C-alpha cells in the first residue's frame, strides 16, 4: 500500500465554502468516513467552529444544488442529499450522499475512476486549504490521477503534492483533531503562535488573553483542558 497526500488551495472568492473557512480561520472540518464508487459517493464530516461560522456554512454546505466536491471549471449539478446527524452551537456532523457523480470533477470520483476500488480517504479542511490523504494499492497510477486533477482545476485553485510513499500513522488522527472543542483548539493555536510553549517562553497567558480578547482565567482554563485532552489521547495511542 502507498499513501498519497496532497493539498488543494483556494484563492478567496473562488469557492463559497472555502470563503467561510478563510473568514473564520479557527473553523475545521474533518472526514469521519468517505466512500466512493464510479457511480456514487457518501461521506460523514465533522465541522467545528464558532456559531457564526457554522451558521454561514449551513447556508452553502447544505445546498443540494451546490457540488461541494467539484474542482473543475463548472458545478456539475449532480444531486446531493445531506443529513445533519448532530447539531450543536459549535459543531456539526453531516452525512452526504451523492447518487450520481459520473463526470463530476471531484477528487473521490477521479480517484475511483482512475485507480479503481480499494481506496480509503481522509480529509482535513481549514483556512484556504483542503488536505487529502488517499490510501492506495502499490500498483495504482498516482501520477495520472495527479495530472488529471491538476489539468482540470478552477482558476484560483492549486494542487500541491505533500507526500507519496509508505503509509505512516494511518489512523483516526484527523478525527481526533476535529474532536477537540473549538474554543480549546483556538486557545492552543494562539498559545503556539505566540511562543507560549517555547523554551524559554516568549509570552504569558495574560498577554495571549489580551490578544485574543478573553479573560485570563478563561484562556488558562481552555489551555488546561486542551493540554489534558492531548495528554490523554497520547497515552491512549501509546498503549492501545
Matching residue, cell 488546561 = 224
Instruction: Say what the pLDDT of residue 165 is.
Output: 73
For 144-179, what is each residue's pLDDT tens digit? 888 888 887 888 999 998 877 777 665 555 445 666
Average pLDDT, the chain: 84
Instruction: Say what the pLDDT of residue 33 is.
Output: 85
For Cα atoms 130, 133, 135, give the angle at the middle one, nearest 5 degrees. Answer: 160
d(CA 21, CA 19): 5
- The closest alpha carbon to 84, from 26, 52, 45, belongs to 45
d(CA 224, CA 190): 14
For the full predicted model, state whether its pTM sits above 0.85.
Answer: no
d(CA 74, CA 104): 9
CA torsion 23→44→134→100, rounded to 10°? -100
Over residues 122-141, the mean pLDDT reads 87
% the chain with pLDDT above 90: 30
% the chain with pLDDT above 70: 89
Q: Is the pLDDT of residue 238 over 50?
A: no
**CB contact at 8 A, 174 and 123:** yes
Beta-carbon contacts of 239 under 8 Å, excluding residues fewer than 6 positions away, are none
Q: Which CATH class is domain 180-239?
A: mainly alpha
Over residues 58-76, the mean pLDDT reads 77
Q: Is the pLDDT of residue 191 over 60?
A: yes
Where does the pLDDT of residue 236 fall: very low under 50, low under 70, confident under 90, or very high at 90 and above? low
d(CA 29, CA 129): 11
CA 155 centroid distance within chain:
21
DSSP string, 56-112: HHHHHHT-TTS-TTB-SSS------EEEEEEEETTEEEEEEEES--TT--BHHHHHH
Lowest mean pLDDT among 19-28, 64-73, 105-114, 128-137: 64-73
- How do strand 129-136 and strand 28-36 relate by DSSP bridges? unpaired
Q: Tell which phi-psi region holds residue 184, choosing left (phi > 0), alpha (psi between -120 and 50) or beta.
A: alpha
- Helix, strand or coil, per DSSP, at residue 208: helix
Instruction: Say what the pLDDT of residue 240 is.
Output: 46
Domain boundaries, the chain: 2-170, 180-239
Q: Is the pLDDT of residue 68 over 50?
A: yes
Amino acid at each position: 500500500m502507498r499513501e498519497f497526500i496532497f493539498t488543494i488551495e483556494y484563492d478567496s472568492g473562488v469557492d463559497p465554502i472555502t470563503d467561510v473557512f478563510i473568514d473564520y480561520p479557527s473553523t475545521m472540518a474533518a472526514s469521519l468516513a468517505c466512500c466512493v464508487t464510479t457511480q456514487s459517493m457518501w461521506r460523514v464530516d465533522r465541522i467545528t467552529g464558532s456559531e457564526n461560522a457554522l451558521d454561514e456554512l449551513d447556508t452553502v454546505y447544505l445546498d443540494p444544488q451546490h457540488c461541494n466536491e467539484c474542482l473543475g471549471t463548472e458545478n456539475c449539478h449532480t444531486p446531493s442529499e445531506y443529513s445533519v446527524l448532530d447539531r450543536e452551537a459549535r459543531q456539526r456532523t453531516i452525512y452526504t450522499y451523492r447518487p450520481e457523480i459520473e463526470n463530476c470533477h471531484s477528487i473521490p470520483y477521479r480517484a475511483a475512476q482512475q485507480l479503481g476500488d480499494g481506496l480509503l480517504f481522509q480529509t482535513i479542511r481549514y483556512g484556504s486549504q483542503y488536505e487529502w490523504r488517499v490510501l492506495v494499492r502499490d500498483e495504482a497510477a498516482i501520477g495520472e490521477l495527479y495530472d488529471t486533477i491538476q489539468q482540470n482545476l478552477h482558476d484560483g485553485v492549486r494542487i500541491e503534492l505533500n507526500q507519496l510513499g509508505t503509509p505512516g500513522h494511518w489512523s483516526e488522527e484527523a478525527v481526533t483533531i476535529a474532536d477537540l472543542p473549538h474554543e480549546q483548539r483556538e486557545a492552543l493555536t494562539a498559545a503556539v503562535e505566540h511562543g507560549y510553549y517555547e523554551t524559554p517562553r516568549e509570552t504569558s497567558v495574560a498577554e495571549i488573553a489580551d490578544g485574543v480578547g478573553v479573560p485570563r482565567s478563561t484562556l488558562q482554563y481552555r489551555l488546561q483542558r486542551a493540554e489534558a485532552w492531548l495528554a490523554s489521547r497520547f497515552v491512549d495511542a501509546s498503549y492501545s
